[in-house]
């Protein structure tokens, strides 16, 4: 048993901090007759955990919940990591904007309008990074997701060629032993897991905690991370390859351009990206396919297309080219395509 003073010295903190956590109900030391507080080895462990979680920026309320179970610790650490990545990216965006302002200023070109325009650009970017919302409630779909893949829509089957598309993505990427791949919108891990037998390390990113839970149960070797297309929880240049299937059509066309830039940020030079998703080859083809459904009176198809953001493949190709990538495309059917890009 230790007294508060010894504990504070041992944990390199202050008595006041320890008392604060006691007031917040995070720790309950034993009290002696003389009203002194006594701390056991277990109290010390708990305090050290609290201090460590504070160090990575968790609030006391979050820590209180986290301390309830081991599963909660993992969950909150994962959430905290994604929140920190978002903050980090926001700060990077701010620094980038300031750099541009300084550069213009040094060239004596900085006028008020520039400052407004650059600040506005930054504001839009911040709003986009923070603003995405899951309007499809993927958490509630997680448990039944794999089963739902087997069911065909009545008159519109988005999962036609699903397995072909996943196989083609892997065949194009050719993951190598020891490489690090990031599967975005991993869901239950159907695509990412195909890289594991080839010896690659796979980070599965998803915005849905329930999807990540099912993914982890199915594929314990996938490193699951909370995150989303516009703020990937991965360092710059860390990934050898990126895969994503049936996920990108949940962000708008404008957000897709930002998503490609975010992929570019985390990808190593010479890295590879395979996107298989619901999309149209180009605007002309979109009009042709939709007209076909209208003529058939296929409301199911029209509603499904309206409900999501099928990409314009030619835009993806153009954006990748602007970023300096070599791009190939493949078509599985009218609405399912692959864009493969090499940095
Ligand atoms: C239709 S499932 C596809 C899952 C898996 N990739 C597959 O091919 O079976 C779409 C997944 O993308 C995730 N998702 C949707 N929008 C996302 C976003 N903006 N960032 C990250 N994940 C997203 C969803 O949570 C869901 O798990």
**Which residue's CA is the nearest one to ligand 1's atom 21?**
228
Which residues contact residue 295 at a Cβ distance below 8 angstroms, ignoring those fewer than 6 apart? Answer: none
* Per-residue pLDDT at 293: 92
Q: How far is the CA of 241 from the centre of ligand 1 (A)?
A: 18
Q: Which CATH architecture has domain 138-342?
A: 3-Layer(aba) Sandwich (3.40)
The residue extents of the domains of the chain are 2-66, 74-131, 138-342
Structural contact between residues 278 and 249, judged by C-beta atoms closer than 8 angstroms: yes
DSSP 162: H
* Per-residue pLDDT at 154: 65
CA distance 103 to 110: 8
In ligand 1, the atom with minimum distance to the C-alpha of 186 is 6
In ligand 1, the atom with minimum distance to the C-alpha of 244 is 6
- Going from the C-alpha of 193 to that of each of 269, 271, 277, 339, the distances in angstroms are 24, 19, 18, 20
* Per-residue pLDDT at 8: 93
Q: How far is the CA of 85 from the centre of ligand 1 (A)?
A: 19
* Per-residue pLDDT at 338: 98
Q: Which CATH architecture has domain 2-66?
A: Orthogonal Bundle (1.10)
CA distance 114 to 167: 48
Among residues 37, 42, 80, which one has the least CA distance to residue 61?
Answer: 80
DSSP 249: G
- Phi, psi for residue 201 in degrees, rounded to 5: -90, 130
Residue-wise DSSP of 266-280: HEEEEEEEEEEEEEE
Q: How far is the CA of 250 from the centre of ligand 1 (A)?
A: 8
Q: What residue ranges of the chain have pLDDT lower than 70?
A: 70, 110, 152-154
Which residues contact residue 71 at a Cβ distance below 8 angstroms, ignoring those fewer than 6 apart? Answer: none
**Which residue's CA is the nearest one to ligand 1's atom 3?**
246
CA distance 257 to 269: 19
In this structure, the residues whose C-beta lies within 6 A of any atom of ligand 1 are: 132, 138, 184-187, 190-191, 206-208, 211, 228-229, 245-247, 250-251
CA distance 211 to 245: 14
CA distance 280 to 310: 7
Q: How far is the CA of 66 from the centre of ligand 1 (A)?
A: 26
* Per-residue pLDDT at 101: 86
CA distance 44 to 242: 42
Helix (H/G/I), strand (E/B), else coil: 236: coil
CB-count burial class (<10 Å; 0-12, 13-18, 19+) for 68: exposed
Q: How far is the CA of 242 from the centre of ligand 1 (A)?
A: 14
């Amino acid at each position: 048993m230790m007294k508060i003073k010894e504990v504070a010295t041992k944990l390199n903190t202050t008595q006041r901090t320890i008392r604060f956590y006691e007031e917040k109900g995070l720790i309950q030391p034993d009290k002696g007759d003389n009203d002194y507080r006594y701390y056991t080895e277990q109290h010390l462990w708990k305090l050290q955990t609290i201090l460590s979680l504070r160090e990575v920026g968790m609030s006391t309320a979050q820590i209180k919940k986290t301390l309830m179970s081991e599963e909660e610790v993992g969950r909150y650490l994962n959430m905290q990591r994604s929140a920190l990545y978002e903050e980090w990216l926001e700060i990077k965006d701010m620094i980038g904007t300031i750099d541009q302002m300084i550069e213009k200023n040094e060239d004596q070109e900085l006028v008020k309008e520039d400052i407004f325009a650059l600040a506005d650009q930054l504001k839009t970017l911040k709003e986009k990074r923070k603003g995405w919302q899951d309007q499809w409630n993927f958490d509630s779909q997680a448990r039944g997701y794999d089963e739902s893949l087997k069911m065909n829509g009545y008159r519109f089957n988005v999962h036609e060629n699903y397995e072909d598309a996943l196989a083609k993505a892997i065949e194009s990427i050719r993951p190598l032993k020891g490489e690090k791949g990031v599967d975005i919108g991993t869901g239950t891990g159907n695509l990412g897991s195909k890289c594991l037998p080839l010896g690659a390390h796979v980070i599965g990113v998803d915005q849905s905690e329930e999807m990540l839970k099912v993914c982890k149960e199915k594929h314990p070797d996938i490193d699951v991370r909370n995150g989303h297309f516009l703020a990937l929880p991965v360092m710059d240049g860390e990934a050898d390859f990126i895969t994503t299937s049936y996920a990108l059509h949940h962000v708008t066309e404008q957000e897709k351009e930002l998503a490609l830039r975010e992929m570019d940020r985390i990808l190593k030079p010479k890295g590879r990206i395979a996107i298989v998703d619901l999309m149209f080859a180009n605007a002309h083809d979109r009009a042709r396919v939709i007209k076909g459904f209208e003529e058939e009176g296929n409301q199911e198809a029209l509603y499904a297309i309206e409900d999501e953001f099928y990409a314009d493949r030619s835009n993806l190709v153009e954006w990748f080219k602007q970023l300096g990538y070599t791009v190939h495309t493949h078509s599985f059917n009218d609405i399912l395509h692959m864009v493969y890009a090499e940095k």
